[in-house]
Structure formats: structure tokens, C-alpha cells
Amino acid sequence: MIGGGEGAYIGGIHRFAARLDNEYELVAGAFDVNAERGHAFAAQNYIAADRSYNDYQAMIAGETAREDGVDVVAICTPNFTHFPIARAFLEAGIDVICEKPLTTTLDDAEALNEVVRSTGGFLGVTYTYSGYPMIMEARNRVAEGLIGKVRTVQVEYPLEWMATGVELNNQQAAWRVDPKKNGRGGSIGDIGTHAYHLAGYVSGLKVESVMADLATFVEGRALDDNAHVMMRYEGGARGLLWSSQVAIGCSNSLRLRVFGETGSLCWFQEQPNELIYTPLAGYTQTIKRGRDDLFDLTKARTRTPPGHPEGYIEAFTNLYSGFAAALRDRDRQREISGIGAAVPQIYEGLKGVAFVDAVVDSHEQGSVWITPKYR
Amino acid sequence: MIGGGEGAYIGGIHRFAARLDNEYELVAGAFDVNAERGHAFAAQNYIAADRSYNDYQAMIAGETAREDGVDVVAICTPNFTHFPIARAFLEAGIDVICEKPLTTTLDDAEALNEVVRSTGGFLGVTYTYSGYPMIMEARNRVAEGLIGKVRTVQVEYPLEWMATGVELNNQQAAWRVDPKKNGRGGSIGDIGTHAYHLAGYVSGLKVESVMADLATFVEGRALDDNAHVMMRYEGGARGLLWSSQVAIGCSNSLRLRVFGETGSLCWFQEQPNELIYTPLAGYTQTIKRGRDDLFDLTKARTRTPPGHPEGYIEAFTNLYSGFAAALRDRDRQREISGIGAAVPQIYEGLKGVAFVDAVVDSHEQGSVWITPKYR
Amino acid sequence: MIGGGEGAYIGGIHRFAARLDNEYELVAGAFDVNAERGHAFAAQNYIAADRSYNDYQAMIAGETAREDGVDVVAICTPNFTHFPIARAFLEAGIDVICEKPLTTTLDDAEALNEVVRSTGGFLGVTYTYSGYPMIMEARNRVAEGLIGKVRTVQVEYPLEWMATGVELNNQQAAWRVDPKKNGRGGSIGDIGTHAYHLAGYVSGLKVESVMADLATFVEGRALDDNAHVMMRYEGGARGLLWSSQVAIGCSNSLRLRVFGETGSLCWFQEQPNELIYTPLAGYTQTIKRGRDDLFDLTKARTRTPPGHPEGYIEAFTNLYSGFAAALRDRDRQREISGIGAAVPQIYEGLKGVAFVDAVVDSHEQGSVWITPKYR
Amino acid sequence: MIGGGEGAYIGGIHRFAARLDNEYELVAGAFDVNAERGHAFAAQNYIAADRSYNDYQAMIAGETAREDGVDVVAICTPNFTHFPIARAFLEAGIDVICEKPLTTTLDDAEALNEVVRSTGGFLGVTYTYSGYPMIMEARNRVAEGLIGKVRTVQVEYPLEWMATGVELNNQQAAWRVDPKKNGRGGSIGDIGTHAYHLAGYVSGLKVESVMADLATFVEGRALDDNAHVMMRYEGGARGLLWSSQVAIGCSNSLRLRVFGETGSLCWFQEQPNELIYTPLAGYTQTIKRGRDDLFDLTKARTRTPPGHPEGYIEAFTNLYSGFAAALRDRDRQREISGIGAAVPQIYEGLKGVAFVDAVVDSHEQGSVWITPKYR
């Protein structure tokens, strides 16, 4: 693992996710820009001292020199460092699990895509919410035609934690409002990309063009903290996306609704064990995670029976276990299938960066329709 | 009453609303384009035979000739007839309660506005949802600064009943998809106007410009059945509006959320007795209709204690009783105040028509920012 | 109407209910024990001065002397006066709509039952909650076997308004805690009877025996304010009933759940437009009031389409309109059918009083199984 | 670990719980009564072959012979085997984590209690639901007086999975309906004990007496599948408990509500990240897991911020990590404090068995008040 040391948030989640299904063992890392603190953290986490590194370059050197070097590295650092770190590991033959957004610029994302292609490495992107079992169920229900041809997608991702100028004394917030470290998109980059990915993941639709109106409500903030985006999908479907970091009352309120010709599906991240399904002329049903009659891929992502809630850590674990499955398939020279085929890889990361670029371009040009370069 | 006879939907609601608070007596009407059927309907509704008229012109003639002629008429006919009927009654000195949208063209709406001005008559518009007590509470909370300066408004009004081509054998649907009878806006005219009005009513904001993407999903339909609208308000707030007639699973799912600098308010029409309020850094609270600690105007619109649900008919009644209060104030040459001052009148109707015009213009011009003529 | 004047709560509800469907005209009454205040109230309510009476005896004298005397009287006075008033009207040939509990003693209830029998009069009892359309739907679903043989009934009716000693300065509360005016049951009489009636109304089950544990939590209160009751029904089903007047957080939180061999039904009074239905091995469905595919009797009790909420006043109106239908059938010497056959009459009132008696007896005897005299 | 091999349910949960916080390493076990199958399972779970044992006696022999023998064993076998296995490990100086109910008879529970006392060993009981962070929050809120003196506790635990005779071909169900393997209580033993424990854990109340009505609805079943229990607590509070295995529509619907003199708390296991709190005369608030202003012990049991759901596995992990904390304190000869002091130990297990005994006795004696031997 790179980053994710003391005081970091997402690194801990990656560790839970690696551990829960017993698919990974955390054996090495460079956990902190402050090497001292990083080593202390490593010691607390049962990492052998000789595998706690000062920085990622040292880790690459050290691990590639070992017989039992790491198979895969998790990159849990601020956005602007994803690119050089991921490139270096891939070029050293070590697979990568990377936080989103993939990079801060589209150029970097394209370059990284080329690195993956040329090295043949694997790069998994942690679009967390696509790991939820009922999202898998929704995706399969759409694909199997249970709601008919999709007409409109409503997706929103409001948060409240940056409703005031928290960046002044919160490190997690500080880099997120610095364009150099975060990239061009504020809320749209941090959380809008999750919403965008989820909408496409479930609906199966490819966006045709986007049109945006960004706003910054907290004084002195350099990036958007509220974004409205209209979307047109190939084939005529329409989408509406709202991301906000200033929506008081919303903890982590990602919500996706997909309406088709013969039914609809609704899912809310804060009650993730339920999928709301309404067939045309039928009654609204609450589909519950854990039941025997769900799709196999849904069941492959579930650990407990109906009514025994799973949550965010389990969703994250599903990505990790999906990455493991993909790597196993690849290593055995089998086609990647099942849950391994359902996890986001480099192209999903590239699409996310292209989406942010298109949204910001649209806004800067006075709200015009823009086609993302990758979609 | 004009229209609202056998088989009509909204006419019955108007009658409930007139009756519930005992503020009106229904004594005359022209209930049906088929006069025969209209008379039969009148008889069933205890209307004296000599006050059941063949058409609105006959009613004006008959009622103005009586000492005890009607004070006010409710117009419950399809959109395109609102204008001539309302004009005729106003010119005859009879006040008007009119369904929305006020007219099918902005020219008509402006002309009607001029009629109201010149005759000094009263024209109340039934933006139903503004009659709910918890909407009044929300409006007062915003006005009193309980959520601080408003940043973003999220309003949506999805319905499912036109998800298929119901207009082929449903009279209620048929005229709603005929531009001549309905006006230029499909979903945006029928229900988007409700959403637009409610957003402004609660937030107190004046729209600056709108940007729209309309779609028609049911084949052969001449008007939009799904509308996405981005809004910019004066002072910098932003809004997002979605109206849809094809959203399977949504019965009458008008939802309004207003986010300010120090709090937020959420309200859902299908659970109208609750207002969800979150103060900055506080917990989300469920504010219940009927409590003693709500605003006086909220309490003036309520009939039952907390936990004894009121609904749509009561909201409609609140408009009717507000119109009655306004008329009483006017007749006694007092300033209109209290609940009488809170009901939508001609200018709200005019704004609604201007909004539809701006939205359709924006869409037809390829999605550009348009400032509605009245707002 | 007797009682229900200035400051009364339930009288106003009766008037809304009488008016909404246009089935009644309020033309006479004795609205207050203080005759002066009663007359003032009558005048405000458009009652002719000569039909505003000093007391119920005067009203009987006055109305029976008129050609156009009242057909039916609504009794909205405290419990202990129901009996003499109802008896007097029935004996004078005037039908009665009476609040519950019918009487304060079982002797009175039996005597009143005999009066009804001997006079052939009609006595409707306002078990309000049985007037909700989705309760009618639930009743029909059980009767049609949609949940199979009933196994267990869970019913609860918690309120919060008497969590402190409000009776010290609240007239509505004061008589409810006075055994002489209220009867032997506190919470069990005031609201437990509603819960008991609803459970039987929907499940179709006849209680075999009850076992109770009553408690009084507010100091100085003479009657129970919290009741736990276990029930055994004929045929082996079991029930659990909780009523409370001290349950902070519960506005009017009557909830009924019926579990059968092949399905279950749940209904919550504060969201009355929905009925939650789960078939064995199927998904939980939200059944919505207003749909075309519900039972005819459900639809006969509904005024608005799905998603346009109806509430407490509409439920009360359904009872009033049911009483009117029953009286019409009787007057035309037809068998009472349809919604007229579904409203609570004298025997339901008698059963309610017998239930309270059995519950209080069980408690006083140290919690033993007791069979109510009428059930 | 003893038991919990292929096809077992709860064993997998124990393994997740042991792993998630990195507090345990699973190194040895006897996973199956069929030793062959047990060894295969061990191999799949990275257990060294020489530490996969044929049975628990072999494991005790093997592990006590090693320097690096296990510290603690998890017992995940059917109820009737808990006693001999736990006794044997404790007597061999190995601490125990045991599923509930502790034993199938009160005699066994008392004997085991004596073993714990005499050996000085540690025995943690997995009353899963007491591991939820918002249950900890509720417990602390009650203890700190935020709802005042408790008046009534409503607790229910309905399930649907045994609504039909699933025991005929489901091993998980089969032993649960066999009195010899399960103990005297059916639903009351399997899930009623959870409800009972949770009610006491949060309310801080000690039961005085119980009164029960048990029923068996599925033909041929030897134990109750539905239980109604009235409870009296010391100090005057009252409780109502419902457990059911035949409640169609209820997945794992444990719900606890505690009403006090100045407030109430409600919690529902299927939405475990929220605690509903209503102060007297205030509004109902949704308290969210993950916030900074919660009690320290709540925060010590949480891993993710508000809105990032945690679930059943995390609750189970909280017990495991609490056991680890308790053992660490004990090993360092410190007083057990913090989360280590909040986990259920032997006496809680004993109380559960005594509760089942009292309930079944009450029922068998025709529903009488019984005081549990331990409470």
C-alpha cells in the first residue's frame, strides 16, 4: 500500500476490504510522506520493518528484489500522485489498485492507459459503489430487460461535510479544493465521477454529450462544490446528475434511479441492502439482498442472509475480491469472467477523467453540449 | 363552476375543497360541453335546475341577472378554454378561481393579466401544492432565515400514468398531449409548472434564467413527456427541475429540497404531513404538521392534531379558504393578509406560462440560457 | 349534533366528515353544556337560531315537533353521557351516530343494545380507523384468503400527548382520566378499543380470551396510561396489543400487522395510503390507495388517484357516508350492503365495552385469561 | 474454532468478525463432525494440516501441547454441544467465545458458570446485536438520563424463514426444532433471547417477572415458533416481547423501542446506522452513526463516517474486538474497561437460559407470572 497511514481515511477502508474475504495479505507499504510516521504506522499494523519503505520508489526497488515481492499495490494517495505512482509500479511489473479519480488531467489518464496497454498490467479502479450487491442486481435486471429500454437516469450524490470552509483545518478537505492536487473538478471530480460511473454501470448506456452548470458556494473555494449536469445518452435516453458537497442533511446520499419502458429501479446508498423495483402496472417491490432468487453475480457478492445488513466495507471488499478473481483468471490464462469481469479497470478510470473534463469545459463555455473524449 | 362534470377529475376536487371548510356553497354551473349531461350532473349535485346552464355565456347572463348571483366561479375546463372563460366572468364582475396553467399562450396570459387589472377582479390560481401546511411551514422557515441564504433547490415531479400511450383511450390524457388544447409544454406545462411554482414559493427566489432539455419517449406524442431544467436564480442560487409523465413507480411524487448556508428542508408530497429539517451540524428532524410550535400561518392551514394525516383535499381546501379570506378582506376594503395573502393569484399564473415558454424556447434553441419574461 | 362546540376537538371532525361527501346537512344541535356558548357557536356555523337548543332534551322536543326534523344525530360528548343521550334520541325515533367507547359500563352498553333492538333504530359507532380505504383493502385481502389462515395479529396504538400530567390544565385530557366520565379503561378504553376493533375488523377473528397488564406511569392518574394485552382468538390465532398514552415520539401511531400462513399485511395510520403486503416467498409490495386493481369496496371509499394522499378526515367521512348508505338502504327496505354494511354499529360498540371490561378484570385479578362477554 | 465448516452459516460470520479488525488469527480448528470434510475445509482456509483436528478433544490435546497454542476458541456448534465443549476448553486453560443460547438447560448453564468461576477463564457470548454501535449509543443515552426513567420497553424479533416446515430439508432449521438439540425454547430460545438481552442491555433494567403465551403454528413442530411475553421490570417499568419464526415479510426484523419519562429511543436492526431519538416536547431526530458528537464508546465501535453503512458483520466484529480488549486487559492485570467491559460474558449467557426457562414455565402453567432464577 502507498499512503493510507495514520489519520488517512480511505487507506483504512482498503485494508478492511483486503482482509475481510481473506484474499489478500498486507505485507509491505510506504504509508506516509513522513517516513518516520509511516514506519510507526507499519509497525502497528504488523508489517515487517524491512518492508516498510520510505517512499514508493524504495518500495518498488525493495519488492522487485524479493522472491516473495508483492503482487499488487493499493494507491491511496491524493489524486495528483496517482499517475506517477501507478505508472512506476506497472512498469515494474506490479499490478495496481487505484483510487478514483484516476488522474488529475486527461493527458495523464491517457498516458496511464498507454502504460497499462504496453505493460500488460492490471489496473483496478475503486469505484466503490459499483461493488454493492444490489447494484449488481440492478445492472443485471437492466441487462436482462426487466425494465425495458432505458428512458431516463436520475443520479445524485450530495454530501454535507464541506458546507462550510472545512478545508481551512481539515487535511482531507484541503487537497480536494486545490486544483493542482485534485484536478479540475471539485464536487464533480470527487463524487460526481462516482455518480457518473454508477449510472453507466447500471444502465449500460454510453453518454453522448453533457451540459453543465457548476457553482462554488463556499467563499474562497477554488473548485465547484455543486454541479448540475444534463446528459444525453446514445440511443436517446436522458440523464440528470447532481453532485454537491454543501447539501446539509446529506451524509453520503448517493441515489440512482433508472426508468425504462416497462419498469424502474431505485437504489439508495444509505440503505444499500434494498433495491426498489416497479414493473409497469405492477406494485413497487422491495428486493432484498441475500435472497436465493437473485442473479448469481449478486449472490457472489453477498455474505449474509436477508435482513442481516451489509454495508460500505463489504462493497469495497467486493471490488477487492473482484480484482483478486480477475488476477487469478489472468494468471491462469483464463478469460476474466464472473465477478472479476464486473470490476472497474483502467478504461473506467479514463472515462471518469474525460467526464470531468467535458463537464468543466461545458460550464466554462457557458453551458454547451460537449461530448467526452472517452465514454 | 364551469366544467368538472361527470367523468372529470379535478372538478370533484374543487367541490370537495369548496365544501370542506364551509366557506362556499355550490349553487350554479355549466358542468359539461354536452348540456344534457351537464344538467343531469347538476341535478345529482343538488343544483337548482334554473341555475344549471348550457354554457358559460348562459351562466354569466343568468347569474348577473339575479340578486343572489354567484360571487365567484371555478374554471375546471381544459387549458385552452381558461382564457376566454376567465375573461368573460371577470368582465361580468364575477371573481374567478382558475386551474393552472392559466392559459396556453403567453399572449393570452398577458391579456388576462390586463383584464384583471382593468376590471379590478380577483383571479386565484390553484397551484395545489402550495396549499399544504408544511409547505407554508417551509416557506416561513426559509423567510425567517432558519436555513440561511439559499444555495440550491432540487425539485422534481415525476408521474407514471402516461408511461404508455394512454392518450389513445383516456380523455384526461388526450387533451394534455394536444398542443392546441394544452399549450406548448407537455410534462413541463402540466406538472413542471407546479414544481416551478413550489420552488419559488418556498425558497422566495426569483429565477434569472433557465436551460432545458426536453424529451418525448412515448411514440407519437406531440409534446414532451420528460423535462430536465437547470435554473439560475437571482443572487446566485441554482436549481434543478425534473418533470416526467413516464416515470414508472412514481404516483404523484412531487419532491422539493432547499439547501441553504445553515440548513436544509425537504418535503415529499406523498408524505405531506412531515417536513424534514436539518440545521447545520445538527441532527435531521422530522417536523410534524399539527404541532403548537409551528408558524401561525401553518397552523391556520391545519385541521387535525399531529399524527392525524391531512392530504391533498385539505391542501386544495386551504387554497379555497385562502381565496375566500382574500375576497373577504377585499370586500371589507382591508388589506389582504394572513392566509389570504399567501394564495397564488394572476401574477403567479402569468409566471407559470412564461416559465413554460422559456423552457420550450431554451430546448428548441438547442439548450441555451433563457430569461422568462415574467418571473 | 350534541356537543362538539367551541374548543371541542372531535366535533369539528364530525362536521368535516358530514360535509365532505355532501351526504348530510347540519341543521340543528345543542353544542355546549353552556347554552349561551352553544348558541354563539351555532350562529357561527350557519345554524338557524330556533334549531340551536339548550340541551339534548330540548333538541329532541324541538326536532320531533318539526316536519323537517333531523334524521340522525351525532353524539360528540364525553363517554359517560353517550348512553342517556343515545337512548333518548333512539326512543324519539331519531337515528344516532355515536363516538366510542359506546358507554362507560357494560350494563349501559347492554341496555343501549336493547334500546336499539326494541326501537329498530340505527346506531353507528365511529371507530374511525376502520374507515380508511386501505383497511378495507386489508380486510378484503384477508377474507379472500390472500394471506391464508391468520396466525398472529400485532396491533399497537401509542400516543405521546399524556406523557406528562396534562390533565391538570387540558379539558380534553381531564375527563379521560376520570373513571366516572371515561369508564374503567384509561388508555385501553380511549385507544385500546380502536386497536381491538381494527384487529378484529381486518382479521375477521373473534377473540376467545384476553390477558392484561395495565400500568399508570404519570403520578396521580386514576386510570391506566399503558396497557399490554395478550389475546387468543378462536381457531388458535394469537394477538398482542399495546396501547399507551405516554409513548414519547408517537403522535397517533396506530399500527396493525396481520400474519397468515401464506402472507402478511401491515398498515400504519400515519401513512394510511399504503398497505404493505408480502406473499410467502415473494417480495414485499407497497399497495397504493387509488389504484384500479383494488377491491371494489376499497375503491368505493376513495376520492383521489394514487399519490394524492387522503387522510383522517376522509376516513371519518367514509364512516359517515357508510352510515348514510346504510340508512338509505334501510329506508328503502333493502338489505344493507356495500359500504353501508361495512360500518360499525351497536354490536361493535358493545364488544368494545366488553373488551375493556375483560382487560381490566384480567389485570385486577393478577393477569388471568378472561373471555369477554361479547366478542 | 469448533464447528462452522462447509455449509454452516454462523461459523463464517465468526471468521469475518475475527479477521476484520485484525485482532485474531485463525490457526486451528475442528470444523466438522465429519472429520474428512473438516480437514478439507481447513485446507481451503489456509489452516495448517497439523492444526486441523478430528474433534474438539483432539484439538485441546494438540493445542495445549504447543508453545504457540490457541488463546481462545470460538464454539459454533448446535446449542446442545456448547456446554461440554466450553467446559473442556476452559478446564484446559483456553478462553471461549460461545454462541447463544449458552446451553440447552439451566443446570448446564449453572454448571458452566461454576467452571468459569473455578478456572478463572473468560467466556464471551455472542449476543450479536449488542455489538451495534447505535445500540451502544442508545445504552449510553439511557444511562446518562437522556430519556429519563424508563417506563416501557417494546422489543420484537420476527423472522419469516420458518413460516413453512423448512426443517424437513434444512439442516439449520432441523436442530432448532429438536428440543434435545435446541433446548426448551423454540423461537423464544433462538431469537427471543437476543431480544431479551438487547432490551436489558439498553434499558439497564432487571426483569422481575415474565408471563408468556407460546404457540406453534407449523404442524408437527415440537417447539414454539411464536412467543408473546409480558415483562415486569424492577422499579415498575413494563415490557412487551414478541418473537416469531413465522412472520412472513420479516427478514431479521429485530426492533427495540424504549420509552422513558423525558424521551424515547427506537432502533431497527435492518437500518442499524440510525437511532431515532425523541425528547419530550421536541422533534424526532435521526441520530447517525459516525458522527463526532456521539459517546466515546459508540465511536470506539465505528469504522466509517456517517452515511457509509456498517452492518451485521461489523457488529459481530465489535463483539470480537471487545473480547480481545477484555482479554488484553485481563492479561495485563488491568481492570477490564471500555469496549471490553461492554461485551456479554457468562452471566449474560446464564440469564438468557434462565429467561427461556421462565418463559416456558409460565406458558406451561397456563400463563402466570414467573421470576427467572437469574436476571
ipTM of the complex: 0.96
pLDDT over 90 at C221, yes or no: yes
Cell numbers linked to C351: 364488544
Q: What is the pLDDT of residue A188?
A: 97
3-state DSSP percent of chain A in helix, strand and coil, to 5? 40, 20, 40
Q: What is the 3-state secondary structure (H, E, C) of D144-198?
A: CCCCCCEEEEEEEEECCCCCCCHHHHCHHHHHHHCHHHHCCCCHHHHHHHHHHHH
Residues D138-152: tens digit of each pLDDT: 999 999 999 999 999
Residue A291 has which C-alpha cell? 435472497
Q: Do C313 and B304 touch (CB under 8 A)?
A: yes
pLDDT of residue A7: 86
Helical spans, DSSP H, in C144-257: 171-174, 179-182, 187, 193-203
Interface test with A, best of C271, C283, C291, C292 (most A CBs within 10 A): C283
Quick one: what percent of chain A has pLDDT higher than 70? 100
The confidence score (pLDDT) of residue B192 equals: 98
Q: Which residues of C fall within a CB distance of 8 Å from D244?
A: 152, 259
Residues from chain D contacting residue B286 (CB–CB below 8 Å):
283-286
CA distance B64 to D119: 101
The region that residue B100 occupies, defined by phi over 0 for left and psi between -120 and 50 for alpha, beta otherwise, is beta
How confident is residue D182, by pLDDT bands cut at 50, 70 and 90? confident
pLDDT at B173 over 90: no
DSSP state of A30: B
The predicted pLDDT at position A69 comes to: 97
In chain C, the percentage of residues whose pLDDT exceeds 70 is 100
Is the pLDDT at B305 greater than 90? The verdict is yes
Distance CA D82, CA D103 (A): 6
**Residues of A with CB below 8 A from D161's CB?**
305
- pLDDT, residue B316, reads 98
Mean pLDDT across chain A: 96
* DSSP bridge pairs for D157: D243
HEC secondary structure over A39-99:
HHHHHHCCCCHHHECCCHHHHHHHHHCCCCCCCEEEEECCHHHHHHHHHHHHHCCCEEEEC
Structure confidence at residue A191 (pLDDT): 97
Q: How confident is the model at residue C207 (pLDDT cuts 50, 70, 90)?
A: very high
Summarize the confidence of residues A137-165 as an average pLDDT. 98
Enumerate chain D positions whose Cβ falls within 8 A of a Cβ in C.
147, 151-152, 154, 156, 158, 160, 163-164, 211, 213, 215, 217, 226, 228, 230, 232, 236, 238, 240, 242, 244, 246-250, 259-264, 266, 276, 278-280, 284, 366-369
- Over residues B267-280, the mean pLDDT reads 98
Which residues in A105-221 belong to E strands, given as ranges?
123-125, 150-158, 207-215
Determine how β-strand B207-215 pairs with β-strand B123-125.
unpaired
pLDDT given at position D44: 95
The average pLDDT across D337-346 equals 96
Task: For C134-164, write each residue's pLDDT tens digit.
Answer: 999 999 999 999 999 999 999 999 999 999 9
Is the pLDDT confidence value at B16 over 90?
Answer: yes
pLDDT at residue B299, as a whole number: 97
Q: Rounded to a whole number, what is the distance in Å from the CA of B115 to chain C's nearest CA? A: 33
Give which of C271, C269, C267 is closest to C309, Cα–Cα: C271
Residue-wise pLDDT tens digits, A46-57: 999 999 999 999
Q: What is the pLDDT of residue A262?
A: 98
Q: How many CB atoms lie within 10 A of CB A289?
A: 28
Residue A75: other Cβ atoms inside 10 A? 24
Residue among C46, C304, C312 minimizing CB distance to B304:
C312
Residues C297-317, mean pLDDT to the nearest whole number: 98
Nearest CA in chain C to A294: C283
Residue D7 one-letter amino acid: G
Query: Which residue is it, cell 392534531?
Result: B305
A138-177 core/surface letters (b: 16 or more CB in 10 A; e: else): bbbbbeeebbbebbbbbbbbbbbbbbbebbeeeebbebbb
Question: B258: part of which helix (H) or strand (E)?
Answer: strand B255-260
Are A308 and D311 in contact, with CB atoms under 8 Å apart?
Answer: yes
The per-residue pLDDT for A289 is 98
Determine the distance in angstroms separating the CA of D276 from the nearest CA of chain B, rounded to an integer. 10
Q: How many secondary structure helices (H) and strands (E) does chain C include?
A: 13, 12
CB-defined contacts A:B, below 8 A: 118
Rounded to the nearest 5°, which phi and psi values hold at A348? -65, -35
Cα–Cα–Cα angle for A362, A363, A367, rounded to 5 degrees:
70
Query: According to the model, what pLDDT value does residue C7 have?
Result: 86
C247 CB neighbours in chain D (<8 A) are: 152, 259, 264
Q: Determine phi and psi for A152, rounding to 5 degrees.
A: -145, 145
% of residues, chain D, pLDDT over 90: 94
pLDDT for position B138: 98
Mean pLDDT, to the nearest integer, of D165-173? Answer: 86
Instruction: Please judge whether D367 and C213 are an interchain contact, meaning their C-beta atoms are less than 8 angstroms apart.
Output: no
Q: How far is CA C90 from CA C67, C102, C108, C121, D52, in A?
A: 18, 14, 14, 6, 85
pLDDT greater than 90 at residue A246: yes
d(CA B44, CA C22): 11
Spell out which residues of chain B touch residue A359, defining contact as CB-CB under 8 Å.
none
Separation CA D38–CA D53 (nearest Å): 8
Helix (H) or strand (E) holding D213: strand D207-215
Cell 399497537 found at:
C156
Identify which of B180, B176, B199, B200 has the alpha carbon closest to the alpha carbon of residue B188. B176
> In C, which residues are within 8 Å of A277 by CB distance?
283
For residues D96 and D124, the answer to whether their CB atoms sit within 8 Å is yes
Interface contact C280-D248, CB threshold 8 A: yes
Q: Which amino acid is at D236?
A: G
Report all structural domains of chain B as residue ranges with CATH numbers, in order of start.
Answer: 2-128 (3.40.50.720), 131-305+351-364 (3.30.360.10)
Strand order of the β-sheet with B95-98 is: B2-3, B72-76, B95-98, B123-125
Q: Report pLDDT digits (tens) over D78-108.
A: 999 999 999 999 999 999 999 998 999 999 9
Q: Report the amino acid identity of residue C257.
A: R
Count of CB atoms within 10 A of residue B225's CB?
25
Average pLDDT over residues A153-162: 97
- Average pLDDT of span D197-208: 98
Round to whole Å and give the CA distance between B274 and B304.
14
The CB density around residue A198, as the number of other CB atoms within 10 Å, is 26
What is the structure's pLDDT at B128? 97
Query: Which residues have a Cβ under 8 Å from the Cβ of C54 and sit 6 or more positions away?
Result: C30, C35, C38
D177: pLDDT confidence band, cut at 50, 70 and 90? confident
C8 pLDDT higher than 90: no
Please give the radius of gyration of chain D, using alpha carbons only, rounded to the nearest integer: 20
Distance CA(B3)–CA(B96), nearest Å, equals 13
Q: Is the pLDDT of residue B189 over 90?
A: yes
Banded pLDDT at A19 (limits 50, 70, 90): very high
D102/B189 Cα distance (integer angstroms): 66
> Do the beta carbons of residue D70 and residue D27 sit within 8 Å?
yes
Average pLDDT over residues D344-370: 97
Q: Rounded to a whole number, what is the distance in Å from the CA of D156 to chain C's nearest CA?
A: 10
| D175 or D350, greater pLDDT | D350
Average pLDDT, integer, range B11-27: 97
Listing DSSP states for C269-323 in one string gives: TTSTTEEEEEETTS-EEEEETT-TTS-HHHHTT--S-TTS---HHHHHHHHHHHH
Chain A residues whose CB is inside 8 A of the C284 CB are 285-286, 288
Q: What is the pLDDT of residue B10?
A: 92
**With contact defined as beta carbons under 8 Å apart, do D159 and D250 qualify?**
yes
Q: Which residues of C touch A285 (CB under 8 A)?
A: 283-286
| C329-353: average pLDDT | 96
pLDDT, residue B176, reads 84
User: Residue A109: which of A365, A346, A368 has the closest Cα?
Assistant: A346
**What is the phi/psi pair of residue A64, to 5°?**
-70, -20
Distance from CA of C371 to the nearest CA of B (A): 33
The shortest C-alpha distance from B284 to chain D (Å) reads 6
Round to whole Å and give the CA distance between B234 and B253: 27
Mean pLDDT of chain B: 97
pLDDT in tens, C84-106: 999 999 999 999 999 998 999 99
Give pLDDT tens digits for C23-67.
999 999 999 999 999 999 999 999 999 999 999 999 999 999 999
- Test the B interface: residue of A259, A265, A277, A286 with most B CBs within 10 Å: A259
Report residue A177's pLDDT band, with 50, 70 and 90 as the boundaries: confident
What order do you get walking across the sheet with D2-3 strand by strand?
D2-3, D72-76, D95-98, D123-125
| Segment D230-246, tens digit of pLDDT | 999 999 999 999 999 99
CB-closest option in A147, A240, A367 to B211: A367
pLDDT band at residue C266 under the 50/70/90 scheme: very high
CA distance C92 to A375: 82
Mean pLDDT of B19-46: 96
- Does position A169 have pLDDT exceeding 90, yes or no? no
Q: What is the pTM of this model?
A: 0.97
